[in-house]
Amino acid sequence: MELFSTKEVSKTYASQQALTKVSISVEEGTIFGLLGPNGAGKTTLIRIINQITAPDSGSVWFDGRLLKTSDISQIGYLPEERGLYKKMKVGEQALYLGQLKGLSRRDAMKELKIWFEKFEITAWWDKKVMELSKGMQQKVQFICTVLHKPRLLIFDEPFSGFDPINADIVTQEILRMKKEGATIIFSTHNMESVEQLCDHIALIDKSKKILDGPTKHIREKYKSNIYDISYRGEFDSASNNIALKYNILSHQQNGNGNKLSIQYPEGSTSGELIRDLVEQVEIISFNEVIPSMNEVFIKVVKQNS
Amino acid sequence: MHKILLIIQREYTTRVQKKSFIILTLLMPVLMAAMMFLPGYLISMDDEQVRTVAVYDASSVFLGRMENSQFTKYKFIPKEEYQIVKQDIKNSSYYALLVIEPNFLTTKTVQVISGSNIPWDLKSQIQDKIQGVIEKDKMAEVVRQTAIPDLEQKIAATKTHINIDTIKVGLGGEAKKSSTEIGMVLGYIFGFMIYLFIFVYGTMVMQGVMEEKQSRIVEVIISSVRPFQLMMGKIVGIAFVGLTQFALWVILGVAIFSASKSFYPGTSHVQQIQNVMAQNQDTAQQVAAPQMDKIQEIFSMVDTINFPLLISCFIFFFIGGYLLYSSMFAAVGSAIDAQEDAQQFMLPITLPIILSIMVMMSAIKSPEGPIAFWFSIIPFTSPIVMMARIPFGVPAWQLILSMVLLVATFIGMVWITGKIYRTGILMYGKKPSWKEIGKWLTYKS
């Protein structure tokens, strides 16, 4: 079921077109990757979702109806550019931010206790924010974002500033919240985490959406008939008819494991490639290469320019 | 609504709990009290340095007639010594050298030569003494020529000191003794206080906005509340900080005033001042009694000032002026990234405030003149200028007109600055131009 969507949302700042008729649809209980190069318009879209700015045209939908002001209590937002009041105490500040999201002081206190214990930061409660390291501040911020148990979470580069251990803790928390039914919009330049987390992605470039679909399908779609093969036997890639028919991308031969990366031309099939190879060598493994999100990203954005 | 209260609460508590706030709040009345008492105390303190002044009197009029006072000795020296001392006053045993030329009566000038700047006190002492001697001589001459008996006493009796009692007639026809001086002082104090509050708390708003922008917490907060709520919450919260400070000052001020009221008349302190005067002036006896009355009169006249009106007007004009200016300060804070950029945008805000203070100075002198009238009606200057006029009494229609215009202007101003603010807080990395800020007004929220 769809929890959130935008329909043909456009926004212009002075002379700059920030969004051009962008439509996205986010299913409930999934992680939606919002990707795009710097300055593509992601932040503008996220601000529109958070009702920080309004679109010039188009509509924004939440839970089957138009998004309204009171919905902000059901949305949690961790911006890329984020900070806390430096001179305020951690606990006091977290309480304040929780209350601003509509929690009562008591509920906020109760939830904060659970989170502070889970993240093992209870000792920070009375410290001023300026005494904490950047990573520590990020942890507090993460808690403040999810404290009010929003149905829709928006994370903009949530892992920046975290060491690998803390990044993993946060990843696990995000996955747990998803399991518990939260819907997450996730914006990042880290394509590995997109592969790891996102069910669905949309790619925005130059104010327009240029790619949209389930992560799996998109990677399938951008594969380019490349196979990684390991084999036993002798095989001379230079003077062979395989070299004439196929495009050999790389070739390693050394005693126990010989590896070949090969691409078949349009019109051919993987079956034909296997048949041709079997005549020459003994195949141990034969794997289709699925492009990483990183490759898809670069390819799509380059095509668009 | 609930959220704006949260914001107000945070803005208020974080500031009121600050050490600097507590110290300033307590210290200010002490400083003001010190400013009230110090001059009196200083008068009572004598310059206790013993100085010897060499007198070279070529006219021979003064020989033996310059009486030593407690700390100043006069020594008449002959011409030979005079020439030596004149060469090198610094290394002589005299503090100063008084030179009286034979023709001093026509030039009406004597010279005091000294190695340092002589104290004003000493200068006036010498002046008094010389004038006294000459007046005495002239008087003796007149007495001798006219041969009227007791002339000297009769002339002395013509010296008269007149007090002017200014009576203010209220609406009900009741007459009260008022004081122009007290009106001026109060007008000045209250006008200046508004000026101070607008500046101090307006800047505080600007810095608060910049803090939120620089620390980048603003985006988190405006995903929970409307930017306008955040701006107004901050402005109102800080207004309460100002009112708290003012209330504490009033309480402390009343305490100090009533303490000094019971302490001032008849105490040794006042006596002391009068004793000092008695020592220095022959007429001291005549002055002392009214002086004494005067102090009591000041207290009774301060009592006749309509303080409830004055204070409620102060609160109104403080809030009105503060809201008007602080919303502009907030807009500036939102538009810039760093304090250094503030200057360019501050100018149009500070200019009318400074103009107000200048107009106020003339308004307390002629509170009913056209300058005072117009500037106390125009909203940007009215808080300060009107406040300076109120102790003198302002017609109700003028007060109301000024108030209505102020409210209307600040509502309009908040509407405009809210638009600038909402765009400004999310703009990073560039210093906007006036033109660009103008464009922000047209953005859809």
- Which residue pairs, CB below 8 angstroms and at least 24 apart, start in A273-278? A273/A227, A273/A246, A276/A241, A276/A242, A276/A245, A276/A246, A277/A229, A277/A231, A277/A242
Q: How far apart are the CA of B13 and the nearest CA of chain A, in angstroms?
A: 11
Tell me the three-class secondary structure of B158-182, residue by residue: CCCCCCCCEEEECCCCCEEEECHHH
Spatial separation of the C-alpha atoms in residues B285 and B338, rounded to whole Å: 64
Q: For residue B267, what pLDDT is reported?
A: 46
Q: For residue B13, what pLDDT is reported?
A: 93
C-beta atoms of B444 and A54 within 8 A: yes
**Is-contact B322 B240, C-beta < 8 A?**
no
Tell me: the pLDDT tens digits for A191-241? 888 988 999 999 999 899 999 999 888 888 888 888 888 888 777 766 677
Is pLDDT at B17 greater than 80 in this prediction?
Answer: yes
| Amino acid occupying residue A29 | G
Spatial separation of the C-alpha atoms in residues A143 and B339, rounded to whole Å: 31
Q: For residue A203, what pLDDT is reported?
A: 92
The residue with tokens 């409620």 is: B312
Nearest CA in chain B to A70: B224
Of all helices (H) and strands (E), which one includes residue A30?
none
C-beta atoms of A99 and B6 within 8 A: yes
Tell me: the pLDDT tens digits for B200-209? 899 999 999 9
Nearest CA in chain A to B18: A87
Task: Give the predicted TM-score (pTM) of the model.
Answer: 0.74
Partners of A56 on chain B (C-beta within 8 Å) are: 444
Handedness of CA B333, B336, B338, B343 (dihedral sign): negative
Nearest CA in chain A to B443: A13
Q: For residue B268, what pLDDT is reported?
A: 47
Spatial separation of the C-alpha atoms in residues B193 and B246, rounded to whole Å: 9
Tell me: the pLDDT tens digits for B285-301? 444 455 556 666 666 66
When scoring A53, A67, A187 by the number of chain B Cβ atoms within 10 A, the one with the most, hence best to mutate, is: A53
Within 8 A by CB and 6+ apart from B380, the residues are B324, B352, B356, B409
Partners of A145 on chain B (C-beta within 8 Å) are: 220
- Count of A–B CB contacts within 8 Å? 70
Q: For residue A201, what pLDDT is reported?
A: 92
Is A139 at the interface with chain B, CB within 8 A?
A: no
Spatial separation of the C-alpha atoms in residues B152 and B154, rounded to whole Å: 5
Q: For residue B174, what pLDDT is reported?
A: 54
More confident residue, A164 or B343: A164
**Is-contact B365 B377, C-beta < 8 A?**
no
Q: For residue B284, what pLDDT is reported?
A: 43
The residue with tokens 């309509």 is: B306
Is A130 at the interface with chain B, CB within 8 A?
A: no
Range B231-252 average pLDDT: 90
Partners of A79 on chain B (C-beta within 8 Å) are: 216, 219-220, 223
Q: For residue A154, what pLDDT is reported?
A: 94
Tell me: the pLDDT tens digits for B351-367? 999 899 888 888 888 88
Tell me: the pLDDT tens digits for B248-269? 888 887 887 777 766 555 444 4
- Under the banding of pLDDT at 50, 70 and 90, the label for residue B177 is low
Is pLDDT at B166 greater than 80 in this prediction?
Answer: no
C-beta atoms of B223 and A99 within 8 A: no
Q: Where are the beta strands (DSSP E) in A2-100?
A: 2-13, 16-27, 31-35, 57-62, 65-66, 75-78
Spatial separation of the C-alpha atoms in residues B351 and B199, rounded to whole Å: 12
C-beta atoms of B439 and A53 within 8 A: no
* ipTM computed for the complex: 0.81
**Is-contact B36 B257, C-beta < 8 A?**
no
C-beta atoms of A100 and B14 within 8 A: no
What 3-state DSSP class applies to B297?
Answer: helix
Q: Which residues in chain A show pLDDT less than 50?
A: none
Torsion angle, alpha carbons of A131, A97, B13, A107, to 10 = -110
DSSP B65: T
Of all helices (H) and strands (E), which one includes residue B266?
none
Tell me: the pLDDT tens digits for B114-130? 877 788 878 888 888 88
Partners of B211 on chain A (C-beta within 8 Å) are: 85-86
Is A81 at the interface with chain B, CB within 8 A?
A: yes
